[in-house]
Chain A
Amino acid sequence: MIKFLLGHYAYWFILALLVIGLYGLIIKRNLVKKVIGLSIFQVAIILFFIASSTKWGATVPVLTDHQEVIQSAAYINPLPHTLMLTAIVVGVATSGVAFALIILIYRRYRTLNENELLERLKEDEPE
């Protein structure tokens, strides 16, 4: 039982972070707060991949000296690091696009609240 808890507690904290991000996306009405929730969600996914690449007793995936025989148990899994490295930079770029869209919405409707935006859209409909 204690082994099970030690093997899984990191996943549960990361899932809590993921649900916090989802809370920001679903409950909050301000568009900027929704984007912040999206970023938290993305960080949770990245942390999940990084946490799953751990090996006990292993070190970072950079060779220290030139060994002839390389033990794969001596280095942690480099593949999730690679994938998440690109995901972080792409996340910055996509949140830039999100903020650009938010700036355009604010210029047109002068509000970022979702309910007010829906009302403005209903007002605009008949024209």
Chain B
Amino acid sequence: MTDIFTKPELDRRTLLRRAAAVGLLATPAVSMLSACVGSSDEGTQDQATGTKSADNPLGIDAKAGVEIVIFNGGLGTKYATDVDTPLFNKKWPDAKVTYSQTEEISTIIQPRINAGNPPDMINNSGSKLMDFGAIVKAGQAADLTDLFAAPSLDIAGKTVADTLVPGAVEQGSYDGKPFAVNYSYTVFGLWYNAALFKKNNWTPPTTWAEFTALCDKIKAAGITPFGFAGANASYYMVRALLTSAGKIGTEQVLKDIDNLKEGAWTNDAIKQAAEAWAGIGKNYINKTFLGLRHTEVQLQQNQDKVAFYPCGSWLENEQAKDTPSGFEYAIAPYPSVTASDKLPATAINAAAGEIYFAAAKGKNPQGGKEYLRTMLSKEAALEFTKLTKSLTVVAGASDGVTISPGLTSANDAVTKAGKDVFMGYLFDTWYKKLDDESRAAANDLMFSDYDAAKFCERMEKASQAVAKDSSVTKFTRS
């Protein structure tokens, strides 16, 4: 564990200057290294339980306290203190909820898990989140099968699992068993200013021909039709391209990429998507965007200098202070590339995130799960969305409620997509090096050589290099 202090790159005297320059001292890495969660079986304490009934499907002890720890980050903590806890106590007035928040989850929680005294419900998030796979492997996360099978708190006749968007349970499952609730929900697509589009009588395209025709009109109006930030956010473009590929050939195309399957990147779907997007890059992008950062391009969109921007649904909240009044964020699914796309034009890429889990070895795991059930109620989900401007995995929780134009639009897009919502890919978090290559390749494709075949070849080569590299830990999905 002390190896971190003798990291190989310490061989230069300039280390401190560098470390300070990137604002990255060794500390976070130390906490990552110490993330080997002890799986001490000894001393499992008495856990509170009650009798299961229709009203108490998880069988919690109505008098036992529940301890929760919330990560204090972009989402804040108000949703827990002002919404979830009161809602929980409305049903269980005698169960005292002990709340605390932290900005450093692993610093606070990991010692307690290792000491066999974890809080009952934990929000594992932020830059110091714990390696959740390791927690599951160490048996420290409670199996949530009963939670998902329990009836929803306020949607009659449905189990908790039934009320969630497609893929939400799977995303928190390890080897087929659910251990985490991924609560927030991000929708990816083409963002535009609905007010500007209305004024000019432009409608979001559904086919590629419509897309390019509209781009021509936008260009004629003196606005850059499409843009993304090459300097630090070209992975937004990677997501756009791969979402198009997923729509051409279904999510299987993306699964193959994640599984490092040979030929995954030279698949026709990827080729067609890369070709289509290269055309956009060639004709409709502003070359200077290669040197800009995401905030700069997003600001230009707020100033109506850029029409379409590929991004996730956090965009509206991120830009809140720069968005002029009269600017209405709206999202369009990526248009179909070919007439024979396997998924319809409405299909959309959306993924759940932000882990909440019940500790397996706490004093009151069932209470922790009941708290999660409260969070997954329609009422709590709606309030969460109102407070954080972020959708939740509770399907349609904010239907018909106007919170902000962008959220309404994202919600509509998911509803329209129906079963054609797909999670996308994971290779970018699994294989950082491949992620890095894809960013450079996307910039190259969109800003300089517009060569789809080269893009595919290059990514295929990088992907196979990772596949053959025994020093890289591999993951698979199905």
> Do they bind each other?
no
Residue ranges of A at the interface with B (Cβ–Cβ < 8 Å): none
